[in-house]
Amino acid sequence: MTTTNGFSDSQESDILGEEEYKVLVKDIGFVPSFWIQSITEDKMEEKYDLTQQYIEEEKPMKDEEEEQEEQEEQEDEYFQELDPAIPVKEEFPGHYNFQVSLGNQDSSKHWTYSQILKKVFINMEETLPLRFKWEPPEDGFLLRTAMVFSLDQYASDPVKRCHNHMATNNPSNRDVDPRIIKHVVRCTHHLTVYEERNEHLSIVTRLNRPQPGSQYVPVCFKFLCKNSCPSGMNRRPTELIFTLEDRNRRILGRRRLPVRVCSCPKRDKKKEEAEIVDTQPEIKKRKLCIPVAKKMMPSCDTHVFNVQLNIVGKENYLAVLKYAYDIMAGQATRTGQFEFFKPYMDDILRKTP
């Protein structure tokens, strides 16, 4: 049987090797054309096979890179869900027992703290010193501070400065990045980053471990707008939300601190505390009135006195009878002895013209 190349089956098995081929070419002085075609096809097939092998080896590597990118995207989406634009208000210390406390209040005349309201009252553009603590005091943590509205109906509204305080001619806006001007809260720490997500503002501060001999890290804040500004917070109560985060933006702890930025902190503090006190003691006063009335209740004196009086004037006479009737009626009501007082009260009615 003859193949398409002109060789029989027995001849195909006797094809020359490469060394024998070189010797034959040297002896005859030329190369048959069908040999060149055959060799070229073999080289192309060999090259193609190598290319295919390279592609097959490279393909899994590309798949791994794509899988890693997809995994990173999923992680980013996961962390975004954990860190929404609107912070949650529920407090929790977390694994690191995250705590926040106030600095020395006695040394400042521009802010005060209410123990009853658990709230800070402070002047605008004044410094509020706070102390942050976590255990163990490790490095690599971030402090996110966001100012939000306390009432749930305004939770989705971003807290921003009013139009007057955001004006370019305002002295507090000189040499300030335009992206920072709208923030009500400012941090004096030089490693603070100002962020905005879906119009909600927050600031992120890097936290280093406390200095030797100290158990907390001091961080100071300023407020560049008042709660009473009409085009800004518009008299709505506000509070600060502090979250302890790691470098992957995962929340490790959360604390809250109600704050009111005003012109007269002490006056507003007394006013709000009085409102709380005035609403609560009403129930207590009612409860106290009952035992006092029991103590002042007159004893049940059942001794009967016969009084004969000469009274000048009909009006005076009727007034005396009415007064006697009212006294006995009141005593009957307080003591519950209506049957005892009824005959004497009826006698007075009979004497009334």
For the annotated binding site, the residues are 162, 165, 225, 229
Among residues 187, 181, 184, 182, the alpha carbon closest in space to that of 205 is found at 187
Show Cβ contacts of residue 312 under 8 Å, excluding neighbours closer than 6 positions. none
Q: Residue 345 CB: number of other CB atoms within 10 A?
A: 16
Distance (Å, whole) CA 281 – CA 289: 12
Q: What tokens were used for 257? A: 């601190």
CA 308 to chain centre: 81
Q: Which residues pair with 239 in a beta bridge?
A: 148, 258
DSSP string, 248-272: T--EEEEEEEEEEE-S-HHHHHHHH
Number of separate helices (H) and strands (E) present in the chain: 8, 11
- Give the torsion sign (CA, 8, 10, 13, 14): negative
101-129: b or e for each residue (b if 16 or more CB lie within 10 Å)? eebeeeebeebbbbeeeebbbbbbeebbb
Helix axes 314-335, 338-351, angle to 10 degrees: 170
Please enumerate, by residue number, every residue annotated as part of a binding site for Zn(2+): 162, 165, 225, 229
What the block records as the tokens of 94 is: 């977390």
- Report the candidate in 216, 252, 192, 246 with the shortest Cα–Cα distance to residue 132: 216
